[in-house]
Structure 1
């Protein structure tokens, strides 16, 4: 029997299933037998301990996981939630019930708002579980530890669970929920975990079931035959050889250069990215400097961090995205208005224009950092939708000393007028996560529409092709820095659509490099045409595989 989902990368693993325990049940709704002050102290201690535990997990995990877990720690310590818990305790509730009701109230309110707020809703469920487990004096529901390697099967994984998986024990992860851009998928790719998400039939798997998890084929094979096991073991050996192969620049079989760059969230990951073969940086997210701050950092503070990054890549291209505030990253000093649909509101370049001093300081700091280092700095603006926005950003960037200014293509509008956008900007980088979200009208953080959040959809590919064609006509580079670039076969399709560089989680570089070496430019264009001709994402992936094999 085979179950299907969305693979993360192309890894293969063989093992036996261990299911993740179900979450704690809803606590009884009854009047506490303890004094309100006693219950209040219990609740406050549990919230504080949970926040500290999440922060500690973040320090251990590092990378993207650190940012996610630190954000969860701040949620656990949120004064407004603490007040909600306190009010319920004073009204006679137990600490357990007060925590449950307070978090559910916030979760339901935020879940209905989409985007970043929907993501926070899921995080609130996990934090509530952890606080109530602390109150009960039991381990928080989480990853089991059977004492031997296993395939973890779960409804979904919280960021805290994914970030701290013991890779010596967990050989693969299979989740019922989630999509290709969920936290589970992103963190699994960063940690090189074999994973398949969105496997609807995974709820039928039982502890001890023997399975092959093939992320490259998007399949979970239950009760595999000897021949299937032998084929999987061969694939595992092939991937081990790829991981240890000499590091060379990204290119196609005919020598066409395709630089393979890293997506980074802070300078801390620079050394590891170089070690894994990154030829530069295709997306440096600067939000880590701004999140959780009451005010924007000053020029000197920013410059020091940018210098630290640029010094790690002397003579290499480093593309920095200016602050992408709004939607999933609201900042009060940029925009403190409550928006019913923040993903469609004042975010990206729109938010920065409304708070131009923040943008001016950031561009100034970046220009100063470039002057102190030998990296080839390029700076881009997020969420561009019009030529006028493009002109505003590029002119301001040049005025403040940035030599190369470009834009992110994340909206269908920008993709459809890419020829005019590239008439102003010096390069474009396609953010496939948001481009897919806006093309398919499917919130990329909402599990109920995860199946639509797939960059393989021909509508998304067609928009990418528009940008690639505009780049070829104008002679300007077009990169991809979304999660799509980390898919080895989709990477070939992207090159066939005119993309000239690919940026991804550093752990994905080896697989993408190996995949590109198997095809020349004519092959890539042919495989891309096959995907474009399909009706949907699943069919496009299948058509591309068939075309790739028909040589």
Structure 2
């Protein structure tokens, strides 16, 4: 999409539009991700000259070990979702099915490079056909292919260059390995042609706190070094921006963001209505870091992220030790919401996930794993109770992928039998529509907006051409959130939001106005959300909610909320 001469540009400039992810304005020369291994190096390598298929497979195994270790090393210094996806990528590159496909392809001749390409394309086709969260792995697989090929032919791994000056990173899409080590001082904004508001790129941008726009058609046509202006609130990328005019806009945006980051709590509206801002964490390390931020506790502890690389289920005592590391930093500060294993779909765990499902995103994942393996849930709950007893922390427990009241009631019974507080996630539309009945059997609800949006809109959240549907500002999604929040208000039980929508300061005002009692997000986003809420009254939040719920599309909803808050 092209507009006429935008602000901060010269007369020859034009603007591209996409989905806004992280607010703020940044500008600089465009730099592109190096996605391909040198064709000359691949041609020189040829079939590798291996005497036997076993020798060629051994070379593949060595490349696998090197690439997997690279992912593992990056995961060790990353945190939160970045660590999650890097660990998952390390597991994917070691996948036995992928190795078998490579071995079979070697039998057809052509050497290991051709075999890797054939095997990866086979799996990409399968994952893309599955749709949903599994389709997201196609980007990861192609990234793995490039890294394996680079190792085989003796070339440096492809990836993000190190800019010499603050620059805007432009790509068709970004793999977890591309974004894990970004320097926010040198990469001032992220722009991708593909992806939606819940893509890897969007999640990492929120963690880094840098402006980001995704799903921008034609952005890869931007020339390397071309000066661009990125507006992460409007969702625009201005090509040919005037550097002097852009500098003023960037400085004003930076001053605004610094003001937001100065907020230190406690969370409350301008007229003194107290709110809860919580952190999403993945392990003990991220919990400790979150405790340094002005948060009131943990709203989402993703337990499955502790076990992505485990072949065998840890025993109760070992699990309790892991959970205690997360609970301990908050033992005297609020509560910690522990989500039971959300294994399956894009987070396969060897000891829990069902293999061979045709559509894992709609298959046996989350609480459904306990239907055929109740011991898995029971041992996890025993470990959570043990960790809570050791630390003295206030542990709440919620189940993912709950679709019926009967499921919620059965889960609540086994949680309460261990002296813990039960709740369920609202990710499936049926759970939102039945929120009143759900709250008759559980003590709290937590809305996972990422999956709720995807399932409500029947749209793959990774598909660039469907990004407008996977926007949490979609009216249908907001209506389901409002239904759930209203149910909680009627009976005086907490209803939180723990999806990526909670990290959007503008949307946070509308969520609070709908009756949401807590917002849980990446710890890095807490200050900007807290600062925004501190500037508005509860009446203004309610007006924002009404404006958002009356809008016909996401863009209109955003604009309506901005007007309501003026």
Per the TM alignment, residue 33 of structure 1 is displaced from its structure 2 partner at its CA by 5.1
Deviating more after overlay: 357-366 vs 283-292 = 283-292
Distance in 1 between residues matched to 2:103 and 2:114, nearest whole Å: 11
Distance in 2 between residues matched to 1:312 and 1:215, nearest whole Å: 34
Inter-CA distance 251–79: structure 2 relative to 1 (3 Å threshold): same
Query: Which of 21, 43, 51 is the aligned partner of 1:8?
Result: 21
CA contact (8 A) 1:10 1:488 kept: no
Tell me which residue corresponds to 2:31.
18
Tell me which residue corresponds to 1:329.
347
Per the TM alignment, residue 32 of structure 1 is displaced from its structure 2 partner at its CA by 6.7
Deviating more after overlay: 23-32 vs 522-531 = 23-32
Distance in 1 between residues matched to 2:419 and 2:75, nearest whole Å: 36
Q: What residue ranges of structure 2 are gaps of 5+ in the alignment?
A: 1-13
Tell me which residue corresponds to 2:4.
none
Deviations 1:339-396 (A, max 9, x none): 2112222222222232111111111111122222232211111111111111111111
Deviating more after overlay: 14-23 vs 421-430 = 14-23
Q: What residue ranges of structure 1 are gaps of 5+ in the alignment?
A: none
Distance in 2 between residues matched to 1:361 and 1:146, nearest whole Å: 49
Per the TM alignment, residue 22 of structure 1 is displaced from its structure 2 partner at its CA by 4.6
CA contact (8 A) 1:364 1:401 kept: no
Tell me which residue corresponds to 2:52.
36
Tell me which residue corresponds to 2:62.
45
Tell me which residue corresponds to 1:144.
161
Distance in 2 between residues matched to 1:288 and 1:366, nearest whole Å: 15
Deviations 1:222-264 (A, max 9, x none): 3335455323311211212322x25111111111111110001
Are positions 1:76 and 2:76 aligned together?
no
1:513-532 matches, within 5 Å, as 513-532=530-549
Inter-CA distance 22–327: structure 2 relative to 1 (3 Å threshold): closer
Inter-CA distance 161–228: structure 2 relative to 1 (3 Å threshold): closer
Tell me which residue corresponds to 2:517.
500
Are positions 1:354 and 2:372 aligned together?
yes
1:242-391 matches, within 5 Å, as 242-243=260-261, 245-315=262-332, 316-331=334-349, 333-391=351-409
TM-score of the pair, normalised by structure 1: 0.94
Deviating more after overlay: 305-314 vs 39-48 = 39-48
RMSD: 2.1
Distance in 1 between residues matched to 2:288 and 2:24, nearest whole Å: 24
Distance in 2 between residues matched to 1:209 and 1:406, nearest whole Å: 51
CA contact (8 A) 1:384 1:409 kept: yes
Deviating more after overlay: 309-318 vs 137-146 = 137-146
Inter-CA distance 146–409: structure 2 relative to 1 (3 Å threshold): closer
Distance in 2 between residues matched to 1:211 and 1:109, nearest whole Å: 37
Per the TM alignment, residue 335 of structure 1 is displaced from its structure 2 partner at its CA by 4.7
Tell me the matched-pair count: 547
Tell me which residue corresponds to 2:250.
232
Distance in 2 between residues matched to 1:4 and 1:339, nearest whole Å: 37
1:450-469 matches, within 5 Å, as 450-469=467-486
CA contact (8 A) 1:36 1:92 kept: no
Distance in 1 between residues matched to 2:220 and 2:531, nearest whole Å: 34
CA contact (8 A) 1:112 1:118 kept: yes
Corresponding residue SS for 2:343: coil
CA contact (8 A) 2:510 2:541 kept: yes
Corresponding residue SS for 2:255: helix
Per the TM alignment, residue 131 of structure 1 is displaced from its structure 2 partner at its CA by 0.8
Distance in 2 between residues matched to 1:32 and 1:221, nearest whole Å: 45
CA contact (8 A) 1:334 1:354 kept: no
Corresponding residue SS for 2:26: strand
Deviating more after overlay: 459-468 vs 315-324 = 315-324
CA contact (8 A) 1:32 1:92 kept: no
Distance in 1 between residues matched to 2:475 and 2:398, nearest whole Å: 26
CA contact (8 A) 1:418 1:467 kept: yes
Corresponding residue SS for 1:200: coil
Corresponding residue SS for 1:451: coil
CA contact (8 A) 1:360 1:400 kept: no
Distance in 2 between residues matched to 1:277 and 1:10, nearest whole Å: 21
Inter-CA distance 497–467: structure 2 relative to 1 (3 Å threshold): same
Inter-CA distance 151–464: structure 2 relative to 1 (3 Å threshold): same
Tell me which residue corresponds to 2:207.
190
Distance in 2 between residues matched to 1:52 and 1:294, nearest whole Å: 17
